[in-house]
Structure 1
Amino acid sequence: MKSIKQAFEVPFSFDIIFTENLFSTDNQEFKNFLENFGNRSFHKKILFLIDAGVAENHSYLQDNIRGYFQEVNNISLVDEILVMPGGELVKNDPQYLEKALLAINEHGIDRHSFVAAIGGGAFLDMVGYASCIAHRGVKHIRIPTTVLSQNDSGVGVKNGVNFLGKKNFLGTFAPPVAVFNDSNFLKSLSDRDWRSGISEAVKVALIKDLSFFEWLEDNAQAMADRNKEVMGEQIFRSAALHTNHISSGDPFELGSARPLDFGHWAAHKLEYLTNFEIRHGEAVAIGIALDSVYSKILGLITQEEADRILILLKKLGFILYHPALGENDKLNLWEGLNEFREHLGGELTITILEKLGKGKEIHEVDFEAMKQAVDELEKLNV
């Protein structure tokens, strides 16, 4: 018998830059990054894809981008700026993935060039996936425009689209080369979208950082009132916790544990059951509430601690129950748990709470107790 053992490591690093008015000619952050990235002797191109909602709310954006690149050296801006729908539609309908791939091909975006996506988390997911499968990977830049994408999904390493009725069935682990969080994009968000992303901060605080959870309690009203400075602090602290976890743990999820998906197993199913009527962040808030009450029923956290979580989520403006949770005697929810197991591969691993600020991984779910948790949420919503 003969064998060759192959082993190597590939380092990944990227900066998450917090700024404002990214494409103002007074702001040199993006210009400096592009001009100094990689081999400066290569001629590079950049293709922009923009979430249609962002393009509509920031009608000046395309002109600003074109004006900005008149002063950027050694980078050619592709003439076409592609505008496509955001939200789960762009991940559900394969025509948008195909359009992104066709644009990468038609404009000659090679592995030394860039694809820049400006939009919410779902939009970044799709464009990132297109970038990763074209030429086995062209460089992608994320410019998140929502609270959720700036404090969580946009700063991570995952890309994907939905397929066969399953969320993120097709996807890759491939980090961007840079993330630019421009606070100016948050100004145009509806109250619903402003609030939605805060659930991811609650999630990571509950499983990682008690002091951040207490900060969220103290500042919930300010965030609900759209205080820009407080929201900026929340986004920075949440993004730091997410990125620290990814770099210190299992960034490409080779195991089955996904603590950063606390509250998500139910959220993913709930999104589909409601035909994406509710936002991802809204579904996550319900999922957090459900798993927190379940943790209380198991005796891991106290009633008082569970109440603190529910009060915080309500103060932020979240509704903590949806009728789809209880449909079909909750068997639809049970199916979601099995789908989550399949998505992980092998052993079921979900995170619940051992105490405020510390998550606990479990591999089995007492579904009768989970059904009780659903009933408790329904009563609280009356």
Structure 2
Amino acid sequence: MNNDIASVRVSLADRSYDIQIGAGLLEKAADFVAERGGAQHVVVVTDTNVDELYGDPLADLFVEAGVESHVLVVEAGEPSKSPDVAADLWQTMLDEGCDRQTVILAVGGGVVGDIAGFVAATFARGLRFFQMPTTLLAQVDSSVGGKTGVNLEGAKNMVGAFWQPEGVLIDTDVLKTLPEREYSAGLAEVVKYGVILDADFFEFLEQKADAVVARDAQVLREIIQRSCRLKADVVEADEREQSGQRAKLNYGHTFGHALEAATGYSELLHGEAVAIGMVCASRLAESMGRIESSVTRRQVELLERFGLPVAVPDGIELGELSALMWRDKKVRDGEVHFVLPTRLGEVETVTSPGDDAVLAAMAG
């Protein structure tokens, strides 16, 4: 294999697949699919931000390889993760003659990956699909692990399916065109892996922060590979969130999802909400005597270095955030569950620590 291409294997019995990471890999997308069962008909699902940059050119590559191709474009942004958009995609695919042999390519960020994966999981009772993420957040997180879904009003990802891709192709060159805010948002999930699973990785990010911010190609390939390997380890241990291992990945998300819902899924990017949520969760753990203050401080400093928000925005009523948490998927047996650090590199799930403590953690 090319030394400039990193590979991560997600081992899930007959659902196992490869993640390939390197520069210029989208140009080899047709070969990547051909090596994994091939396709006679592909549907590229992308969004209005990505279509001209990567969606249409990718479809053209498949046409050149003799594969019939269609491009379906959704509006960029979280509101596209809706049942109505899914229904539009189902109907369009039916009109275009898609059948059980059609292969779906998700080309875009996390929203595109989630909605395209959900459509793949449900159309004709399940189609093969590939993830080709074009944002850092999708590359290190949402494209790996098989979670797909759409949002209901006030409840993120409430309707969905576990549907593993046939492969994930990560082209680091696409990050050159990623807006600064989107790039920073992706780094929130990278920092999360260090906090929940790998203290050495967290320290690596601290040491290489300047290179990360500068989008150094070698450092990017390394942090994407490490993030994907860490997530793959968790997914392999708990693919469908049955043993509790996969819950670790929700660090910062109980607060973060409430923030997204409170702002109508439009003011905060997912990574920004998670960054704030991680700080709130760490403060909560600190107030309960579970960690030293230095654990919170190091997270705040690194997140700020990466250009991320670390406090609940002004104008959001904390009581509303608390109420929204009760509508989250992580509510079980009538209690809200929080993933809290016990030290850098280790977290555990804590049940309903008390409304006052939660409100104080959000207040800062």
- Superposition TM-score, scaled by structure 2 size: 0.89
In the alignment, residue 331 of structure 1 is paired with which amino acid? G
AA at the equivalent of 1:166: A
Q: Supply the distance in 1 between the matched residues of 2:55 and 2:93 (Cα, whole angstroms).
A: 21
Of 291, 294, 298, which aligns to 2:281? 291
> Between Structure 1 and Structure 2, how many residues are aligned?
351
Deviation at 1:374, TM superposition (A): 2.2
Corresponding residue number in structure 1 for 2:120: 131
Corresponding residue for residue 52 of structure 1: 48
CA–CA distance in 1 between the matches of 2:286 and 2:315?
19
Describe how 1:92-111 pairs up with structure 2 within 5 A. Answer: 92=82, 94-111=83-100
CA distance in 1, matches of 2:160, 2:111: 12
Query: 2: CA distance between counterparts of 1:368 and 1:358?
Result: 25
Name the structure 1 match of 2:59.
65
Distance of 2:325 and 2:126 partners within structure 1 = 32
Matches within 5 A, 1:79-118: 80-92=70-82, 94-118=83-107
Correspondent of 1:317 among 269, 290, 307: 307
Of residues 171, 178, 181, the one that matches 2:160 is 171
Query: Are 2:17 and 1:14 equivalent residues in the alignment?
Result: yes
How far apart are residue 199 of structure 1 and its match? 0.6
Aligned equivalents of 2:126 and 2:170: distance in 1?
23
Structure 2 CA distance for partners of 1:179 and 1:325, relative to 1, 3 Å: farther
Q: Which string of whole-angstrom CA distances, capped at 9 and with x for unpartnered residues, describes residues 76-130 of structure 1?
A: 322x3222212202113x4421222123222333333301110100111011111
Task: Report SS of the residue matched to 1:323.
Answer: coil
Farther-moved stretch of structure 1 (232-241 vs 143-152): 232-241
| Matched residue SS, 1:171 | strand
Give the 3-state SS of the residue equivalent to 2:149 in structure 1.
strand
Equivalents in 1 of 2:159, 2:62: separation in Å? 35
Match of 2:321 in 1: 333
Comparing 46-55 and 151-160, the one that deviates more: 46-55
Deviations 1:322-357 (A, max 9, x none): 236861xx2212213212256556654321011111
Provide the residue aligned with 2:254 in structure 1. Answer: 265
Provide closer, same or farther for how the CA distance between residues 255 and 345 of structure 1 changes in structure 2, counting only shifts above 3 A. farther
Structure 1 unpaired stretches of 5+ = 1-8, 377-382
Specify the SS of the correspondent of 1:117.
strand
What does the per-residue CA deviation read over 1:45-91, in whole Å, with 9 as the maximum and x for residues that have no partner?
111122210124x1x7524531453235xxx322x322221220211
Gap change, CA 1:293 and 1:96, over 3 Å in 2: same
**Counterpart code for 1:83:** V
TM-score normalised over the length of structure 1: 0.85
Is residue 146–residue 197 contact of structure 1 (8 Å, CA) maintained in 2? Answer: yes
Instruction: State whether structure 2 residue 238 is matched by structure 1 residue 239.
Output: no
State which drifts further: 279-288 or 103-112: 103-112
SS in structure 2 opposite 1:294?
helix
Q: 1:33 to 1:161 in 2, by over 3 A?
A: same
Q: Which has the larger radius of gyration?
A: 1
* Paired AA for residue 48 in structure 1: V
Quote the residue 2:240 is aligned against.
252
Q: Tell me if the contact between 1:256 and 1:346 (Cα under 8 Å) persists in the aligned partners.
A: no
- 1:86/1:120 contact within 8 Å kept: no
Contact 2:145–2:235, Cα closer than 8 Å, also in 1: yes
Aligned to 1:380: none
Question: Which residue is 2:352 aligned to?
Answer: 364
1:147 to 132, 136, 143: 136
- 2-side partners of 1:254 and 1:346: how far apart? 18
Residue type of the alignment partner of 2:311: Y
Percent identity, aligned pairs only, is: 30
Q: Which amino acid aligns with 1:157?
A: G
Q: Distance in 1 between matches of 2:290 and 2:303?
A: 20
- Matching residue's letter, 1:203: K
Give distance in 1, aligned partners of 2:19 and 2:342: 31
